[in-house]
Amino acid sequence: MLVSATEMLNKARDGKYAVGQFNINNLEWTKAVLLTAQKLNSPVILGVSEGAGKYMTGFKTVAAMVKAMDESLGITVPVALHLDHGTYEGCYKCIKAGFTSIMFDGSHFPIDENVAKTTELVNVAHGLGLSIEAEVGAIGGEEDGVIGKGECADPAECKQIADLGVDFLAAGIGNIHGVYPANWEGLSFETLAAINQAVGEMPLVLHGGTGIPDDQIKKAISLGVAKINVNTECQLVFAEATRGYVEAGKDKQGKGFDPRKLLAPGFDAICAKVEEKMRLFGSVDKA
C-alpha cells in the first residue's frame, strides 16, 4: 500500500521505534524488501538515490515497478517510495514520476538557500499529499558524488528548517555513509539530544545506518530518531552470498547460471538482513 511517510514516522516517533528505509537498486532488492515487510507486518520506506534511479533508467521506471509490484504481491503494509538525498531538480522529477515522498538535501548550501529551496518544495509536496525530508549538517562519506565530512548539525539551524513544515529531518550527528572506519568516534548523542529538544515532536532521521552498534541505534531511537537508512549492509550481504554461490561452482551445475538461480542467494541474504534490522528498529507488527 503506497502512502506518504508522514503517518508511519509520526507513529514511530510516538511509539519509540524506527521505520527502516532500505534503498533499492533493482527488482530483486525491491521484491526482497516488500516481501519481508509484509511477512513482519512492518511499515517500510523504499529509498531511491539519484544514482540508483538513473541506473534503473529513470524515476518513472522505478515508480511504475514499485507500484506494479506492490499490487501484484498484495502488499497491505504501508510503503513509502522516497527519494534519497535529492537535488532540487531531482525532487521535481520524482514528484512528476509518482513518488510518495521526497528528500531535499540542501545541507551543502548556505542556510538561507537551504531554507528558501526547502520552503518551496514543502509547499509543492504538501499540496500533492507527499511527505518531505530535509537535511542539516553533513553526513560523512560519499553519496552519488556528494562528499560530506560528517559535521554535526547546529540545533538552531535544525529548528529553523523544522519550522518550515518538513515532515522529518535528517541531521548530521557524526554518522557516515558506507562502512564505518575503525577509528570512528561514534554518534554524538549530545548533539542529537540538543536537536531533539530544539525540534520538539519532529521525527528525526539517522542516515548511514550500516555498522552502527545496536546499543547506539537503540539510544538514537530513544532520542527521537524514527527513520533509519540502510543501504550498504544489504549490498555487502548480497555480494557475499552471490560470491559464495559462484565460488562454489553452483552456477555451473545444471542451469545454475539462470539469473533466477544465480541471484537467489543474494535475494535471500537481503531478506534476512532487512528482517534483522526491522526487529532491531522495533517496527515489527507496527503496520
Task: Give the model's pLDDT for residue 244.
Answer: 98
Counting Cα atoms < 13 Å in the Cβ hemisphere of 199 gives: 36
State the alpha helices, DSSP H only, in the chain: 6-15, 27-40, 50-55, 59-72, 88-97, 111-127, 155-162, 189-199, 214-222, 232-247, 259-262, 264-281
Farthest CA pair distance, the chain: 62
pTM of the model: 0.94
Counting Cα atoms < 13 Å in the Cβ hemisphere of 129 gives: 6
84 catalytically annotated:
yes
Catalytic site residue from 84, 105, 154, 167: 84
Task: Give the model's pLDDT for residue 178.
Answer: 83
The three cell numbers of residue 89 are 531538480
Task: Give the model's pLDDT for residue 75.
Answer: 98
Task: Give the model's pLDDT for residue 138.
Answer: 62
Which one, of 62, 59, 52, 66, lies nearest residue 92 by Cα?
A: 59
Fold of 6-281: TIM Barrel (3.20.20)
Average pLDDT by consecutive 10-residue portion of the chain (287 residues)? 98 98 97 98 98 98 98 98 97 98 94 95 98 82 47 91 97 85 88 96 92 94 97 96 98 96 98 98 98
The three cell numbers of residue 46 are 523504499
Q: Give whole-number Cα distances, 204 to 28, 192, 228, in Å.
A: 29, 9, 9
